Amino acid sequence: MAASKCTRLSGASVKPLLDSLDCVLFDCDGVIWRGDQVVPGAPQVINLLKKHGKRVFFVTNNSSKTRKMYADKMSRMGFDVTQEEVFGTAYCSAAYLKSVCKLEGKVYLIGGDALRQELEAVGIQQTGVGPDAVSGVQSDWANVPLDPEVKAVLVGFDEHFSYMKLNRALQYLTDPGCLFVGTNTDTRLPLEGGKAVPGTGCLLKAVETAAQRQAQTVGKPNHFMFDCVASQFGLDRTRCLMVGDRLDTDIMLGSNCGLKTLLTLTGVSTVADAEAHQKSGSAERQRMVPDYYVESIADFLPALQG
Amino acid sequence: MAGMATSTRGCCKIRGSGIRELLDNKHTVLFDCDGVIWNGDAAVRGAPEAVSLLKRHGKKVYFVTNNCTRPRATYATKFSRLGFTDVAEEEIFSSAYCSAAYLRDAELQEGGKVFVIGCQGLMEELREAGVPVVVEESDQRAGNIYDYPLDPDVRAVLVGYDDQFTFSKLAKACCYLQNPACLFLATDPDPWHPLRGGRITPGSGSLTAAVETASSRTATVIGKPSCFMFECIASQFGLDPARSLMVGDRLETDILFGAKCGLDTLLTLTGVSTMEEAQEHKDSQDPERKNLVPDYVIDTIADFIEAYKEEEEEQG
């Protein structure tokens, strides 16, 4: 397993690798697009993989779009994709609460409309979405009326995050029987131009600190997102490749699930980052070392077009 | 009690002559406020008398609170309202006051401002100390979460309890902190604050955690258990740690603070922490937990009254 890792995938090696695969899973940001800019060649790669009979899935920690919104964005950009092939954390968190937690009851949601929609799609009602500012005095908020049907708190990306929302989540979480789930722990949103926008991880950390409890996270590198894909489509892990730009989420997920892993350099992590993990003595860090790396997924094109 | 080796922190329950012996050896007593001298808006029974008693016996008394929502003047009013008749503003050290002192002394560049996540009380302490603060525009007018105006003169970010906390404030703080030369301060680390009736509310610590996560930086924390507030008091009034006693109700803030600053520590049971929790830390093998063990424990600071009454009776 540790034999040869972190090797550059040369042109000649692409075809043998593809021949060993039935299925390729792609992260989105930094892999097939960057914000609203498509990575050149990405649509052709995805479409050709499918033409060659490979199953293609998309696995993203972003919780601000439903699978339908993702499929629409992909279509607009030239990707031939159906919504069933997209697994975002909004969809997966709803699936987690429904199928794994078997939640009967409502969710107090810190998150956007996509999360609300995905929850409703599996029959889970939520309370809390939208702006929520503090009013009255401190003793009012501590005694804020709690909905007795709420049995879980779910934290995802929320641009309306406020002290009041943090407070409500805390009040629900003082009941140890209330579930606590986070969509993902990414600390920043991936954006063009380098502007730093805080990610869900920051909001989740605020709630975890106040409540002195740790959330169960759904997103990469937790294996749940792969389980979600695998449970709907029979997959042979040994014939799956995970393609991502982040060592700590994408590659780690691949390692955790026994998949082959490929780092693309169009996003966050670098080869130097990967080599540093490889040289470390830590077993945990070894799981962030990809099997292969490429400059961009467009590097697949010659083998696919040939 | 007398001659107790301070290298094995004791968790010793004391009253009467034990308290008296302890206090006789101290020149200075530092009190936390919430859970020690008052709970919410009600004084702990006997607390005002206990404080007066100490002063009458020549002790210096200071109040050290992590609360960052009120300026000192407002605190002084609360003391007075609750029956503490001889507490002067100068004796009150809140994390708001000390954060302002820190920034005043930090020598921010000419024209340098502080971006503050905090409430009015904190802003007032900063103004009192002459520290320029970025005036926060109403978030709705100032762009969206991806694009908003930044003040080029910001040289420090200060995070404290803010019931008007928003995503925009978090994003702005994160942007300012991209500059490694920008200072990053937090008023206090408390993850939650107790309110009356056993309820709690999110504390400064939870907001600081969000900013730290976003910026990948660690804040310099002013409040307990960091020693900064002790240094702030010591710089204004000469203090000998060996002759000073810290009285508090939270092991992980007050007692740890006292231990780190080299003071003897006294846990009072009128607030957050319990004798059981203190005992668990004492019994633990983990060396990091020994500083959470109070030297002494009392039921309430009202027990000071009884201790001195005994002495007065003996001398009578």
Q: What are φ and ψ of residue A126, in 5° steps?
A: -125, 160
* pLDDT tens column, B221-234: 999 999 999 999 99
For residue B154, give the amino acid letter: V
| B7 confidence band (pLDDT: 50, 70, 90) | very low
Residue A212 φ/ψ region, left for φ over 0, alpha for ψ in the -120 to 50 degree band, beta for the rest:
left
Q: What percent of chain B has pLDDT over 90?
A: 82
* pLDDT tens column, A111-127: 999 999 999 999 999 99
Range name among A98-102, A296-300, B37-41, B308-312 with the lowest pLDDT average: B308-312
Q: Do the beta carbons of residue A264 and residue A296 sit within 8 Å? A: yes
pLDDT value of position B314: 65
Please tell me which residue in A22, A29, A72, A175 is annotated as part of the active site: A29
Q: Does B195 contact A139 at a Cβ distance shorter than 8 Å?
A: yes
Between positions 94 and 153 of A, the ones with CB within 8 A of B are 133-134, 138-139, 141-143
Residues of A in contact with B171 (CB under 8 A): 196-198
- Rounded to an integer, the average pLDDT of A236-257 is 97
* pLDDT tens column, A133-188: 877 777 777 788 899 999 999 999 999 999 999 999 999 999 999 999 999 999 98
Count CB pairs under 8 A between chains A and B. 105
| Residues of B belonging to the active site | 32, 34
Does residue A20 surpass a pLDDT of 60? Answer: yes
| B1 confidence band (pLDDT: 50, 70, 90) | very low
Q: What percent of chain A has pLDDT over 90?
A: 89
- Rounded to an integer, the average pLDDT of B176-197 is 92
For residue A35, give the amino acid letter: G
| B147 confidence band (pLDDT: 50, 70, 90) | confident
- Rounded to an integer, the average pLDDT of B243-251 is 97
Q: Is B148 on the interface with A (CB under 8 A)?
A: no
pLDDT value of position A2: 47
pLDDT value of position A8: 96
- Integer-rounded Cα Rg, in Å, for chain A is 20
Q: Do the beta carbons of residue B68 and residue B95 sit within 8 Å? A: yes
Average pLDDT, chain A: 94
* pLDDT tens column, B68-122: 998 999 999 999 999 999 899 999 999 999 999 999 999 887 789 999 999 999 9
* pLDDT tens column, B165-174: 999 999 999 9
Does residue B5 surpass a pLDDT of 50? Answer: no
Q: DSSP for chain A, please give it.
A: --SS-SEE--HHHHHHHHHT-SEEEE-SBTTTEETTEEPTTHHHHHHHHHHTT-EEEEEE---SS-HHHHHHHHHHTT----GGGEEEHHHHHHHIIIIIS---SEEEEES-HHHHHHHHHTT--EE--S-----S-HHHHHTPPPPTTEEEEEE---TT-BHHHHHHHHHHHTSTTSEEEES---SEE--GGG--EE-HHHHHHHHHHHHT-PPEE-STTSTHHHHHHHHHS---GGGEEEEES-IIIIIHHHHHTT-EEEEETTSS--HHHHHHHHHSS-HHHHTT--SEEES-GGGGHHHHH-
Does residue A224 surpass a pLDDT of 60? Answer: yes
Q: Which residue does chain B place closest to A196, by CA atoms?
A: B175
pLDDT value of position B316: 54
pLDDT value of position A271: 96
Does residue A247 surpass a pLDDT of 50? Answer: yes
pLDDT value of position B312: 64
Between positions 188 and 217 of A, the ones with CB within 8 A of B are 188, 191, 195-199, 201-203, 205-212
Min Cα–Cα distance to chain A from B28, Å = 34
Q: Does B210 contact A202 at a Cβ distance shorter than 8 Å?
A: yes
Does residue A240 surpass a pLDDT of 90? Answer: yes
Min Cα–Cα distance to chain A from B42, Å = 14
Higher pLDDT: A1 or B306? It is B306
* pLDDT tens column, B276-305: 999 999 999 888 899 999 999 999 999 999
pLDDT value of position B108: 81
Range name among A101-115, A139-153, B179-193, B207-221 with the lowest pLDDT average: A139-153
Residues of B in contact with A203 (CB under 8 A): 167, 210
pLDDT value of position A194: 58
Residues of A in contact with B195 (CB under 8 A): 138-139, 142
| B9 confidence band (pLDDT: 50, 70, 90) | low
- Rounded to an integer, the average pLDDT of A51-56 is 97
Q: Do the beta carbons of residue A122 and residue A95 sit within 8 Å? A: yes
Q: Do the beta carbons of residue A48 and residue A18 sit within 8 Å? A: no
Q: Does B171 contact A198 at a Cβ distance shorter than 8 Å?
A: yes
Please tell me which residue in A19, A22, A27, A273 is annotated as part of the active site: A27
Higher pLDDT: B199 or B28? It is B28
Q: What percent of chain B has pLDDT over 70?
A: 92
A27 is catalytic: yes
Min Cα–Cα distance to chain A from B29, Å = 30
Tokens for A224, please give them.
Answer: 């749940």
ipTM of the complex: 0.93
Q: Is A162 on the interface with B (CB under 8 A)?
A: yes
